[in-house]
Chain A
């Protein structure tokens, strides 16, 4: 697996390089701004781009804009965006119609190396990972009395994990419940929200995101 890193903090960049290399992931290039990221991705065609949102020159959302362009030019490139602040709008811009091979995590997650590397591999393999904080934002910003209030607390937990991009097996492990129970909850959620059920995790994320955004 080959990765391009875009991160303007040298400290964090070298840390990430070491972390990935230590886990047998090849770092094809590491750069410090959005333009350089685009060039590196075009030149090296990596499996995944690890992108910081705020980079020079404007220090606003260079990384995000570069990610959207990579998405359009080279859709096979998986993208994992890291940010000091997670905002649902960023997540929505990123996913924009296809949640496959997209990740959006708050920077703190790099401290939990095993989980972080798992997320890198999952996203590179076409999965989706949204930070629990983004999902919490999406779930909180809801009107009262809508279909979401019909969900049981357990179903809300399952919905949140689905929105993060977790598979049924991961949800089972996270909540410590059986396979049948997870399936039952997922079916109930899709029925209550009137969403088309889907086995593919990334399509599930998209359905849930779309639902949460446009209700």
Chain B
């Protein structure tokens, strides 16, 4: 019943709203065109455009609330700048579909108004017994001044029943009409497949942009931390180690216990320096920024206790984010080679071709490596995924193990 009332309300609103849209839009466009030589014409056109958008939004809201239509907002993102806004408005198919819908409202409502005639007849017939009772006599039904028939209280009852039946029949048309309106609204006010794809693409682009920005910020933050460590803690510790070395030298041999303590303190300072160095390298490898992939990979291989063959073939320098992730992939894979693989040799191959940076580490160890949760390899997978790259670990029992990352590098 409530649905019926809503649909009926929607149908009844059709006439006034349709008239409003026709009036507003035609007047706006006419005024705009006629006054175009004056700047005021542009204002009228802009106001018409605003009215069109408002109309579209109102109609979408009505269809949603009164007809239960499911309609997403179809408009393209609203840009900055008048020129871009005008262009968006004119090229967005949703603009013209809105316009068509608003202009259709009046003729459709006009056709539907034909239903008002049977409603009037039904009401008249159903009201005959009431009139007969009120006038305490015969009632004559007329149409255009002509007498049709005369009835009294009793003989008016069949006419009243017929009138009620007519009203019920009209009431039954409200449901199907409402559904037809819903379909019309949905087909015109909804985003088209093309515009949905376009929206998705735009959203995807925006998401990619945000992700790239996040990665850039994170990388910059790591660089800053590394530099703070270098200029702060590392220098201070080196200074401290130097002073302790000098103190040791100045002490002489008559206080062996003190000498032992100072020497221990110095050694501890040096060990701490080494730890900070490892930490800083994990944050942002200085050699990568300074010398590029080839040198950085060679340095990694140099620190690996297992002999490593390095091949780097990159004609152009990849973007720093891709470079850094490739570096950490190789770094972690070589650490695994040294710790778990039992390998006697490994090969690092890095190459960039067709916009993809490939980093691969292959060893001759016993295999069985997994990129499970919580391992260094799982962390790598996440870092590679953040750049929309792919990461695979192929490590059958008995070996060999191949760790491979492919990173888009946009060249």
With known contacts A59-B227, A87-B299, A107-B238, A113–B248 Cβ distance under 8 A: yes
Q: Is the interface of B mostly helix, strand, loop or mixed?
A: helix
Q: Which residues of B contact A84 (CB under 8 A)?
A: 230, 234, 238, 277, 280
The verdict on A16 contacting chain B, using a C-beta distance below 8 Å, is: yes
Question: CA–CA, A87 to B304, complex, Å?
Answer: 14
Q: With a CB–CB cut-off of 8 A, which chain A residues contact B245?
A: 19, 110-113, 116
Judge whether A15 and B243 touch: CB under 8 Å: yes
- How far is A140 from B270 in the complex, measured between Cα atoms in Å? 23
Task: Report yes or no: B298 in contact with A141, Cβ–Cβ below 8 A.
Answer: yes
Cross-interface CB contact of A11 among B239, B290, B291, B303, cutoff 8 Å: B239
Inter-chain contact A89/B291, CB cutoff 8 Å: yes
**Given B227, B266, B307, which contacts A143 in the complex, CB threshold below 8 Å?**
B307
CB-contact partner of B309 in A11, A54, A59, A143, under 8 A: A143
How far does the Cβ of A48 sit from chain B's closest Cβ, in whole Å?
18
A211 at interface by CB-CB < 8 Å: no
**Are B270 and A108 closer than 8 Å at their CB atoms?**
yes
Do A108 and B238 touch (CB < 8 A)?
yes
Determine whether the beta carbon of A9 is less than 8 Å from that of B231: yes
Task: Tell me which residues from 361 to 405 in chain B have a Cβ below 8 Å from any Cβ of chain A.
Answer: none
Q: Which residues of A contact B155 (CB under 8 A)?
A: none
Given contacts A140-B302, A141-B310, contact A108 B274 (CB under 8 A): yes
**CB interface residues, B 288-310, toward A, < 8 Å:** 289-291, 295, 298-299, 301-305, 307-310
B249 touches A89 (CB 8 A): no
> In the complex, which residues of chain B have a beta carbon less than 8 angstroms from the beta carbon of A188?
none
Establish whether residues B234 and A60, one from each chain, have CB atoms under 8 Å apart when the complex forms.
no
Q: Is the CB of B286 within 8 A of A89?
A: no
Asked if residues B227 and A15 are in contact (CB atoms below 8 Å), the reply is: no
Which residue in chain A gives the minimum CB-CB distance to B274? A108
Residue of A nearest to B266 (CB): A111
A-B contact count (CB 8 A): 108
- Does chain B have a CB within 8 A of A35? no
CA distance A107 to B274 in the complex (A): 10
A12: CB under 8 A from chain B? Answer: yes
Q: Is the CB of A11 within 8 A of B236?
A: yes
A19 touching B299, Cβ below 8 Å: no
Please, what's the 1-or-0 string for B218-260, where 1 marks a CB less than 8 Å from any CB in chain A? 0000000001001100111011011111101100000000000
Asked if residues A15 and B230 are in contact (CB atoms below 8 Å), the reply is: no
Q: Indicate which residue in A60, A111, A113 contacts B269 across the interface (CB closer than 8 Å).
A: A111
**Is B345 close to A, CB under 8 A?**
yes
In the complex, which residue of chain A has the Cβ closest to the Cβ of B299? A87
State whether A107 and B273 are in contact (beta carbons under 8 Å apart), knowing that A11-B236, A84-B230, A85-B287 are contacts in the complex: yes
Q: Chain B 328-357, CB within 8 Å of chain A: the 1/0 string?
A: 000000000000000011000000000000
Whether B281 contacts A19 by the Cβ 8 Å rule is no
> CB of A88 within 8 A of chain B?
yes
In angstroms, how far is the closest chain B Cβ from the Cβ of A52?
Answer: 9
The contact of A12 among B239, B286, B310, by CB within 8 Å, is B239
Q: Is A138 an interface residue (CB 8 A)?
A: yes
In the complex, how many angstroms separate the beta carbon of A8 from the nearest chain B beta carbon? 8
Contacts of B227 in A (CB 8 A): 59
Check B230–A144 contact: CB distance below 8 A.
Answer: no
Asked if A16 contacts B242 (CB within 8 A), the reply is yes
B241 to chain A minimum Cβ distance, whole angstroms, is: 3
Q: Say yes or no: is A22 at the interface (Cβ < 8 Å to chain B).
A: yes
Hey, which chain A residues are within 8 Å of B239, CB to CB? 9, 11-12, 15
Task: Report the Cα distance A80→B309, complex, angstroms.
Answer: 30
CB-contact partner of B235 in A9, A89, A137, A140, under 8 A: A9
Nearest chain-B residue to A19 (Cβ)? B246
* Docked-complex contact A141 and B302, CB < 8 angstroms: yes
Instruction: Select the residue from A15, A16, A61, A141 with max chain B CB neighbours within 10 A.
Output: A141
Bound state CA distance, A157 and B273, in angstroms? 26
Contact B270 A89 (CB under 8 A): no
Selected A-B contacts with CB under 8 Å, 19 pairs: A9-B238, A11-B239, A15-B242, A19-B245, A60-B290, A61-B290, A84-B234, A85-B281, A88-B299, A88-B302, A89-B295, A108-B273, A110-B245, A111-B266, A113-B245, A113-B248, A137-B303, A140-B301, A143-B307
List 3 A-B pairs, minimum CB-CB distance, nearest first. A137-B302, A111-B241, A9-B235
Extra inter-chain contacts (8) besides given A59-B231, A88-B298, A114-B249, CB under 8 Å: A85-B281, A85-B286, A108-B241, A108-B270, A111-B245, A116-B245, A137-B302, A144-B309
